[in-house]
Amino acid sequence: MSIDINKARAETPGCANVLHFNNAGAALMPAPVIDAIQSHIQLESEIGGYEARAAADEKYRGTYEAIARLLNCDASEIALVENATRAWDQVFYGMPFQEGDTVLTAQASYASNYLAMLHMGTRKRINIKVVPNDEHGQVSIERLEEAIDDSVRLIALTHVPTNSGLVNPAVEVGKVARKHGIPYLLDACQSVGQLPVDVQTIGCNFLSATGRKYLRGPRGTGFLYVRLDSIELLHPPVIDLHSATWTSRDEYEWQPGARRFENWESNVAGNIALGTAINYALEWGADEIWDRVRALGELLRAELAKIPELTVHDIGKEKGGIVTFSAQNKASNEIKTWLAALKMNVVTSTPEYARLDAEARNLPETVRASVHYYNTEEEIGRFVFAVRSFLGGS
């Protein structure tokens, strides 16, 4: 079944206002998600925050079930947190690292993740090994295998990086991790909602994700997957009266399952709406969304590559909906400002967001245009025409 573009756009109010190619930043929310947020906020205003949370308990619990369906896991393996970075941190800072331990990561590592590795390197004197890319620009499975020794305690992979169209081979990495019995943490911040993500197929022990990007959920929402048989590998870095029960004066017990990684206060309206966003995506179909996003990404990439003054910087054997480019004689921020005046949304990506990759490829600040299934071929045509016009073309 193909995506009904007219229906998707009719249910996305923002499509009437902007050409939105910033879906890797925060996608346009569909009407059901907006309604879910507004309805709960209205309920809070009428009966009170605590009371509204109690009244919406079934909807709130439904978000765990929706995420479980999305990832093909059990709802008890899901924790709701405020963003993907905090989800990732709960795992990384919960690992019982010792001096001399090694973390394996890839060249596409996101800045926040790598900063945490550097931080832990200072605190615990762990080693960080960056696995080189293969000839396609994705993490080399062969070199990953070669990097494994008795000191490796974690493999941390960014599935889809912030600064290119690359889709890293998460399943192949999972096979190596399982073969050697090494815990595997997958940053799926940019992949969940864009392409099918099945934790059973991937074989990761942990996964972090956000609601605001390709899932089209609200900001301030995210989630963590922790495989049940891997929970005891971690020591939650923080604790409160939600993540644990104070059983006696000097004792406590952790919540069962992944909810020990949550805290008591949460964005109730946002988390309910996150479940709505996921169910909305599941109605369209993960495979159908991926087919559409990948095709639009390929089209945008190809059309931009026809402009002589531009360089398209995307790498990888498999590419998705994130397209990055720069111009020879124009700053990327100038291009962004020009497009914004035309109500065309993009962002710029600076080398510090993915420094390992940017320095290895000598990348400048780039324009990042990220498409979603509700975007159209006609929008791509208008966008490319606008870029060409700014550069003085016809």
Q: Tens of pLDDT along 194-206? A: 999 999 999 999 9
- Measured distance between the N- and C-terminal CA atoms of the chain, rounded to whole angstroms: 38
- Specify whether 90 is located in the same domain as 218: yes
174 CB burial (10 A radius; 0-12, 13-18, 19+): buried
Domain boundary among 263, 283, 303: 283
- Specify whether 130 is located in the same domain as 220: yes
- Specify whether 11 is located in the same domain as 85: no
- Specify whether 277 is located in the same domain as 309: no
Question: 268-284 and 31-47 helices cross at what angle (nearest 10)?
Answer: 160
Q: Name 319's Cβ contacts closer than 8 Å, sequence gap at least 6.
A: 165, 166, 167, 294, 297, 298, 301
Amino acid at site 29: M
Backbone angles phi, psi at 237, to 5 degrees: -75, -20
Domain boundary among 232, 253, 283: 283
- Specify whether 73 is located in the same domain as 134: yes
Q: Tens of pLDDT along 164-182? A: 899 999 999 999 999 999 9
- Tallying the residues shown for the chain, one arrives at 394
Q: Tens of pLDDT along 63-75? A: 999 999 999 999 9
Residue 340's pLDDT is: 98
Beta strand pairing call for 322-327 and 310-312: antiparallel
- Specify whether 145 is located in the same domain as 223: yes
- Specify whether 318 is located in the same domain as 358: yes
For the entire predicted model, the pTM comes to: 0.96
pLDDT band for position 393 (50/70/90)? Answer: low
Domain boundary among 283, 316, 335: 283
- CA separation for the pair 207, 185 (Å, rounded): 6
Dig out the tokens for 218 from the structure.
């609200």
**Radius of gyration, CA atoms only, the chain:** 21
- Specify whether 299 is located in the same domain as 180: no
Question: How would you write 86-103 as a 3-class SS string?
Answer: HHHHHHHCCCCCCCCCEE
Q: Compute the average pLDDT of residues 133-148.
A: 97
Residue 1's pLDDT is: 61
Q: Tens of pLDDT along 347-373? A: 999 999 999 999 999 999 999 999 999
For residue 369, give the DSSP letter.
E
- Specify whether 236 is located in the same domain as 340: no
Q: Compute the average pLDDT of residues 112-136.
A: 96
Cross-strand partners of 348? 367
Cβ neighbours of 330 (radius 10 Å): 17
- CA separation for the pair 81, 84 (Å, rounded): 8
Q: Give the range of the structural domain holding residue 308, as residue numbers without chain letter.
A: 5-28+285-390
Q: Supply the CATH number for residue 296's domain.
A: 3.90.1150.10
Beta strands of the chain (E only): which ranges?
A: 19-20, 78-81, 102-106, 127-131, 152-158, 184-187, 206-210, 222-226, 244-248, 251-254, 310-312, 322-327, 344-345, 347-349, 366-370
Dig out the tokens for 354 from the structure.
């993915």
- Specify whether 140 is located in the same domain as 276: yes
Closest to 241 measured CA to CA, from 220, 221, 259, 226: 259
- Specify whether 350 is located in the same domain as 309: yes
Provide, rounded to the nearest whole percent, the portion of the chain with pLDDT above 70.
99
Q: Name 58's Cβ contacts closer than 8 Å, sequence gap at least 6.
A: none
Q: Compute the average pLDDT of residues 73-80.
A: 98
- Specify whether 215 is located in the same domain as 254: yes
Amino acid at site 335: I
Q: Compute the average pLDDT of residues 201-217.
A: 98
Task: Provide the number of structural domains found in the chain.
Answer: 2
pLDDT band for position 392 (50/70/90)? Answer: confident
Dig out the tokens for 274 from the structure.
């996150």
Q: Supply the CATH number for residue 44's domain.
A: 3.40.640.10
DSSP string computed for 53-97: HHHTHHHHHHHHHHHHHHHTS-GGGEEEES-HHHHHHHHHTTS--
Backbone angles phi, psi at 83, to 5 degrees: -170, 170
CA 219, chain centre distance (Å)? 12
